[in-house]
Amino acid sequence: MRVNLGADTPETDVRRALTTGDMGFLHSFTTGSRVDGPGVRVVGWTTGCHWRCLYCHNPDTWNMSNGIPVTLARATEQLRKYRHGLKIMSGGFTLSGGEPLMQDRFAVKLFTAAKAMGIHTALDTNGSLGNRLTDAELEQIDLVLLDIKMWDPERHRQLTGMDNAPVLDFARRLAERRRPIWIRFVLVPGLSDDVENIANIARFSASLGNVKRVDVLPFHQLGRFKWKELKLNYTLNDVQPPSIEAVESACAHFRSQGLKAF
Ligand code: SF4
């Protein structure tokens, strides 16, 4: 687990980085991902997230100081190495996290640099900070992987600690701008798997008109050890992953609204 990798970075440098976007804080870079957007992808994992989802499997990305400071130039150079391969494999670059828009200036600059190299770009986001991006900046993002975690506002607050109104507003704005979305929905037995929740999210997703696909992500316990090591209070110890049938049933709700769901 990676923690405190950026702890030595002076506070003024952190602030300057966030303002200019000339430096970002990354937990890691992975190559060869097939699950973070179309084709084969390079994924940059940012640190910093202001949500506290009960099922988060990356709580080590919550604090920005757990990331390695990386200059925009260096990150761009890394992407340049892969640009031909990514094109051949119909892939691209995805920025995930953490919440990438905690570092919105860095994200925009990196996406712009990737686009200039002809690389397909995707943002994996909880959607709450979408209003940090201008309409012109949205054009630098070919695909938004948008988490919709819970429909009911109060239950959403219990699950994430935050309001879901900005998420839904961002989804509507992306629809108005005709920017493609893949919805991501985490299926957690006893928490998010009731029919009412799924049906509401499915109806909303279908109403947008720009949702190209829905990924139903089965809850898992792979991040549990991180909560323990970070001495955080993990409340889902007894929750089992959903059955294949439950995942298929959730997919069926989305499909019944005319969406592609996997
Ligand atoms: S939004 Fe993502 S990174 Fe942030 S707490 Fe939730 S699951 Fe974790």
Classify residue 255 by burial, with Cβ atoms within 10 Å: 0-12, 13-18, 19+: middle
Q: How far is CA 124 from the centre of its chain?
A: 3
Residue of 51, 170, 186 best suited for mutating to test ligand 1, as the one with most atoms within 8 Å of CB: 51
**Residues 127-162: tens digit of each pLDDT:** 999 999 999 999 999 999 999 999 999 999 999 999
Contact 18, 105 (CB under 8 A): yes
In 2-135, DSSP assigns E strands to: 23-33, 41-46, 68-71, 92-96, 120-125
Residue 61 CA, ligand 1 centroid: distance in Å: 8
The protein residue whose alpha carbon is closest to atom 7 in ligand 1 is 56
Contact 241, 193 (CB under 8 A): no
**Residues 56-73: tens digit of each pLDDT:** 999 999 999 899 999 999
The atom number, within ligand 1, closest to the CA of 61 reads 3
Q: Computed from CA positions of residues 17, 95, 215, 56, in that sequence, does the dihedral angle turn out positive or negative? A: negative
Residue 26 CA, ligand 1 centroid: distance in Å: 15
Rounded mean pLDDT, 203-210: 98
The Cβ-side half-sphere exposure at 103, using a 13 Å CA radius, reads 40
Measured CA to CA in angstroms, residue 183 lies from 19, 202, 215 at distances of 29, 10, 6
In this structure, the residues whose C-beta lies within 6 A of any atom of ligand 1 are 49, 51-53, 56, 58, 61, 97-99, 126, 160
Which one has a higher pLDDT value, 214 or 66?
214
